[in-house]
Structure formats: C-alpha cells, structure tokens
Amino acid sequence: MRVLGIESSCDETGVAIYDSEAGLLSHALYSQIELHKKYGGVVPELASRDHVRRALPLISDVLKDVGLAKHDINGVAYTSGPGLIGALLVGAGIGRSLAWSWDVPAVGVHHMEGHLLAPMLEDNPPAFPFLALLVSGGHTMLIHVEGVGRYILLGDTLDDAAGEAFDKTAKLLGLGYPGGPQISRLAKQGDPNRFRFPRPMTNRPGLDFSFSGLKTFAVNTLADTDAGDQSKADIARAFEDAVVDTMAIKCKRALKQTGLKRIVLAGGVSANQGLRERMTQLGRDQRIEVFYPRPEFCTDNGAMIAYAGWRRLVAGQTEPLVIAAKPRWALDQLSGVA
C-alpha cells in the first residue's frame, strides 16, 4: 500500500509517500520561516495562504521524484488536528479532495500521533510498549504508549509547552524565530557554571511540567548582567540545561512508575542536541533503550503523517466524504489500532 501524506498544521508544508513494503519513498518540505521571521512568530492567515501555494506543487514533486503517477497511490493521509484551523483546512481540503478524485480512502491524522510514530521511520524502530516524551511548539507530554492509538497521558504542561518556552526565551534574548535552534546554538558557547536556573516542579511528586517561570527567570537574570553576547550565551546555556534536566528527571520518574524499558523522544524540541545526549545518558544509566527520529523528522514533516496514516488506513479506518479539521484534539481520545 502506498500512502500520500500531507502536513500543514502550522508553518511547514510537508509531503511524503510511504510504501508499506519499501518504506519511505520520497518526502519534501517547504518551511515558512522566512515568511514569518519579521513578525517574530507565525501569522496564521499568512501560513494558510502559503500552504495553498505550496501543497500541490510539492505533491507533484514527490510523485515525480520517484516516478509515480496518481494511480499508484492507494490512500491519502493529512493532518486534521490539532493546529491552526486555516492551515489545517488547506491540507484537509486538498487531501480529502485528491482522495475522492483518485477514488482511494482518506484518513485524518492527529499531528502528535504523527510525531510519536516518527521514530518508526528509522532503521531500528521501537517495539511497543514504550514511554514517549513528546515535546513540540504546542505540546509537552509524557505518554505511556501501549500501541498505535492506545495512549495513556501521564504528564502534561500546566502552562507553556517546551518549544514555546524556547521560543519566548529566545525572543527575550533578542534572538530570532524559531527560538529553539537559536538558543541551542548560543548555548554551546555558554558557561554552564555561571547561572543556575530552577528545575520547575521536580521537588514535588507527579509528572506534569511548568516552563513559564523559566522565561521570567531569564529576563530577571539578563537584567542583572551587561546584556552582552557572552551573558546571553550563558543564560541560553542555563535555560537549556534547566529544561533538559527537568525533562530527564520526569522521564526517570515515569520509567520507575510504569516499569517501561524503552523511551521515545519526539517533536520539534527532540532535535535539541543537549536533550538527545542527556536522554542517551539516562538510557545507559537506567539500562533502557532510547529512540528518536533523525533531526529533520523531529520537527514537522509529511513523512510522519504518511506513516501514521498508513497505520490507520491498513486497519480499515477511513474518513467520510467531509472536509474536517480539529484545532483542538486530545491525543488520548484516539481510537486504538489492533
């Protein structure tokens, strides 16, 4: 079975073709970073309009790339939530309509399920069950994953998502958008011993997160310095270390609580090198296996949607002849796939 996947929930148009026999055949991504940069964040209406411009040419490109025609596609998957409603509707409208005109089934994919299953595209995919740390621009979740669609939420953020905390702190330090990669780059030149940021909510039981206090801590710390380049790098380092450390502490706690022996890291923030290194270390210490997608599949992409869509289509799940998108959609409300 060959599935076309379309991702358009935020500021990236991603398209891919996944083949159940041969694996990922082709994928392409158009990032809108340049478009939104001057506004310091994503402008939803501009995002929607740009998805309209990019999606169809990208679909033609990925088909051409592997010498396939429309009749070679057996199903279409698109992100139907959560995300920006206008942006989602572009992908859902195009995906559902193409499936109808090609006379193949369509399926709407939960964006975070896409992220969660992205490590399945790698050579050494994780077996179920596993613990997942899902960290993106909109979500921070610890999940007990029993199988596809069988997700038990163990912990969530009470305020800012992990990626959001990176983005907001970057803005306060005068860095560009998106902030995660910028903080990460700057942190490499930072002194790890100059400042120590708190590890929020680690001194009480539970698996929830809270990151909004860290940005206030960053502002106050910055105000007490010369606000020069080295001070900013030192703050970036202290901030990143605090986020990474907090996540590692919660993951360790969740592993102990569930008895799970594998951990999957996914979502945009899982591209962070410091986090990946720290989790690899945690894996060694705790004798558990650690999995993460290649960096380009940590952030939004069409490949993860094609793959997640295939898992659902092959189980017989299809979308009715309706173009629907859900800006809010709880991951633990999904139906399980055998």
Structure tokens at 18: 């996944």
- Per rule CB under 6 A, is residue 136 in the interface with ligand KG4? yes
- Least separation, in Å, of the C-beta of 133 and ligand KG4? 13
Candidate segments 49-57, 117-125, 162-170, 205-213, binder of ligand KG4 by CB under 6 A = 162-170
The torsion region of residue 128 among left (phi > 0), alpha (psi -120 to 50) and beta comes to: beta
**Phi–psi pair at 329, nearest 5 degrees:** -165, 115
- Per rule CB under 6 A, is residue 302 in the interface with ligand KG4? no
Q: What residue has token string 């939530």?
A: 81
178 contact, one of ligand KG4, Zn ion, none, CB 5-8 Å limit per kind: ligand KG4
Q: What residue has token string 């942190």?
A: 187
SS3 for 281-301, per residue?
HHHHHHCCEEECCCHHHCCCC
CB nearer to ligand KG4: pick between 105 and 267:
267
- Per rule CB under 6 A, is residue 293 in the interface with ligand KG4? no
- Least separation, in Å, of the C-beta of 307 and ligand KG4? 15
Contacting ligand KG4 (CB under 6 A), which of 86, 114, 155, 181? Answer: 181
- Cβ atoms of 260 and 229 within 8 Å: the answer is no
Alpha-carbon span 273 to 243, nearest angstrom: 12
Contacting ligand KG4 (CB under 6 A), which of 3, 4, 6, 10? Answer: 10
- Least separation, in Å, of the C-beta of 112 and ligand KG4? 8
DSSP lists the bridge partners of residue 152 as 144
- Per rule CB under 6 A, is residue 305 in the interface with ligand KG4? no
- Cβ atoms of 139 and 131 within 8 Å: the answer is no
CB nearer to Zn ion: pick between 195 and 329:
329
Structure tokens at 5: 């996947």
- Per rule CB under 6 A, is residue 138 in the interface with ligand KG4? yes
Structure tokens at 156: 């969530």
269 contact, one of ligand KG4, Zn ion, none, CB 5-8 Å limit per kind: ligand KG4
Q: Which residues bind ligand KG4 (CB under 6 A)?
A: 10, 136-138, 163, 166-167, 178-181, 184, 267-269, 271-272, 299-300
